């Protein structure tokens, strides 16, 4: 009875370890793809029009700053509506993407 339980425990450990290793590889690959896509977008945007790229970057920065302000300020009475909800969602998505790249983009692909 003890040998079967030990073998089952070792098997469960190996399956869990293999699952974590596969998940780590998948997340690293996803982070490298996201980083490559962001670099490609920046390159194509700059080659199309440097002025529009700078203007778009400034507008995106203002939107993200508004989203961060809406996220971290003391909430007012009622719910967020319209522009506040959109900028908050954009800031949250950008923050999660940055966190993914920070934790898993350890590739030499670029």
Q: What is the pLDDT of residues 78-97, one digit of tens each?
A: 665 788 888 889 999 999 98
Distance CA 88, CA 82 (A): 10
SS3 80: coil
What is the pLDDT at residue 24?
A: 86
Greatest mean pLDDT among 1-10, 36-45, 77-86, 96-105 lies in: 36-45
Domain map of the chain by residue range? 2-104
The dihedral through the CA atoms of 51, 48, 89, 98 has a sign that is negative
The pLDDT value recorded for residue 109 is 52
Give the Å distances, CA to CA, from 47 to 39, 51, 61.
12, 10, 20
pTM for the predicted model, two decimal places = 0.69
In degrees rounded to 5, what are phi and psi of residue 43?
-65, -50
């Amino acid at each position: 009875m003890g040998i079967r339980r030990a073998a089952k425990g070792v098997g469960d450990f190996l399956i869990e370890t293999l699952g974590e290793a596969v998940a780590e590889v998948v997340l690293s690959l996803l982070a490298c793809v996201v980083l490559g896509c962001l670099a490609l977008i920046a390159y194509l945007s700059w080659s199309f029009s440097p002025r529009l790229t700078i203007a778009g970057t400034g507008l995106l920065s203002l939107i993200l700053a508004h989203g961060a302000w809406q996220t971290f300020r003391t909430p007012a009475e009622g719910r967020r509506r319209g522009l506040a909800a959109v900028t908050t969602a954009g800031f949250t998505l950008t923050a999660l993407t940055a966190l993914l790249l920070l934790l898993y983009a350890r590739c030499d692909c670029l």
